[in-house]
Amino acid sequence: MNLLVLLDHGDGRLRPTALELLTLARDVPGARVHAVWVGAAPGEEARAAVAAHGAAVLHHVLVEGADDRLTASVVDALEAVRAEVDAPLLLVASTFEGKEVAARLAVRTGAGVVTGAGALELGADGRFVAGKTVLAGTWTTRCAVTAPFGVVALAPNAVQAAPVDGAGALDVVEHRVAASAAARAVTVHSREPRPTSDRPALAEAEVVVVGGRGVEGDFSLVEELADVLGGAVGATRVATDEGWIGHEAQVGQTGVTISPRLYVGAGVSGAVHHRGGMAASVTVVAVNSDPDAPIFEFADYGIVGDLTEVLPALSDEIRRRRS
């Protein structure tokens, strides 16, 4: 059985979500993994990583006549690969771009789509079943793909990426695809790179430290703890609306959805709209001076105290233990 995996990459390097998708795909019983790379050719390092994480075939697709980073172009590339590879399922990352690709592909092909998935299994009846949490983490659901072709968008950090022992040789197949009218309808005049940072991307980070109303405009302690833990910095809607930090840091139903292995909320009340964006976190640590804050109802560890005292103490203790 063939499975397709769309590789998320930037500047010629694979993003962590790509390796997580490959790990998940190769663990499906009887699966032969076909990885799809759209754009300029991957380097040797990227090819080696794709092979090491279980892919048997790497499809390198160049889209002619449109910017290959447009989601419409990516869908053109995926349709071309699907025309040659009989596969019942495509795995993509559950990011803004990945979910748009899934939606566009579903419109064109009639595929069944599940986004924000945290697990995947092949049922006894041959259908793929994705597990995901919904309604701000209050329900865990199982969603079966009933269409002949399905697209499952996997939440970052849902799977621990790991190389496979005894990985085989990687077959590389080259494709050239003419861009569709939808892709050619968009002209990209310029691109502005995001400001670089040593911190991981918020949506993909394994550790996220979030500041809320309780930081009272000062994110320095939140940033310090995030840097000590090697994590990303997030914020609640109140903090971004107040201008304490950029809106790109907002975590919630109307912001970025995260699924880190460790979430630390500092001065975060735990409102429903925020919980909806972080409910998939594996371990939740809350620091709040209000013992009745809603976040304590679902936190794994709660600290009732002044964050200006607790956060520096946490940072110092982590440094001490690592020294």
pLDDT tens readout for residues 25-55: 999 999 999 999 999 999 999 999 999 999 9
Q: How confident is the model at residue 139 (pLDDT cuts 50, 70, 90)?
A: confident
CB 120 within 8 A of CB 22: no
Residue 96 has pLDDT above 90, yes or no: no
pLDDT tens readout for residues 145-184: 999 999 999 998 889 999 998 878 899 999 999 999 999 9
Between CA 253 and CA 272 the distance in angstroms is 9
Percent of the chain whose predicted confidence (pLDDT) is above 70 = 98
pLDDT tens readout for residues 3-15: 999 999 988 899 9
Helix (H) or strand (E) holding 266: strand 262-266
Predicted pLDDT of residue 70: 96
Helices (H) and strands (E) in the chain, counts: 9, 17
Q: What is the mean predicted confidence (pLDDT) over 59-75? A: 96
- Dihedral of CA 191/17/46/3: which sign? negative
Between CA 107 and CA 131 the distance in angstroms is 23
Q: Reduce the DSSP state of residue 275 to 3 states and report it.
A: helix
> In sequence order, what DSSP letters do the residues of 213-240 get, joined into one string?
GGGTT--HHHHHHHHHHT-EEEE-HHHH
Between CA 178 and CA 16 the distance in angstroms is 29
For residue 48, what are the CA distances in angstroms to 40, 43, 51, 93, 263?
16, 9, 5, 20, 32
CB 155 within 8 A of CB 94: yes
> In sequence order, what DSSP letters do the residues of 281-307 get, joined into one string?
-SEEEEEES-TT-GGGGT-SEEEES-H
pLDDT tens readout for residues 192-244: 876 667 899 899 999 999 999 999 999 999 999 999 999 999 999 999 999 99
pLDDT tens readout for residues 275-312: 989 988 999 999 999 999 999 999 999 999 999 999 99
Predicted pLDDT of residue 54: 94
Q: Is 6 exposed, middle or buried (0-12, 13-18, 19+ CB in 10 A)?
A: buried
Predicted pLDDT of residue 194: 65
Tell me the pTM. Answer: 0.81
More confident residue, 89 or 253: 89
Residue 115 has pLDDT above 90, yes or no: yes
Between CA 17 and CA 68 the distance in angstroms is 20
For residue 247, what are the CA distances in angstroms to 198, 204, 208, 252, 255?
19, 17, 16, 11, 8
- Rounded to 10 deg, the angle between the 71-84 and 96-109 helix axes is 50
Q: What is the mean predicted confidence (pLDDT) over 83-100? A: 94
What domains appear along the chain, each with residue ranges and CATH number?
2-184 (3.40.50.620), 207-322 (3.40.50.1220)
Q: Reduce the DSSP state of residue 310 to 3 states and report it.
A: helix
For residue 24, what are the CA distances in angstroms to 20, 52, 156, 200?
6, 13, 12, 22
In the block, which residue shows the tokens 């790497």?
A: 58
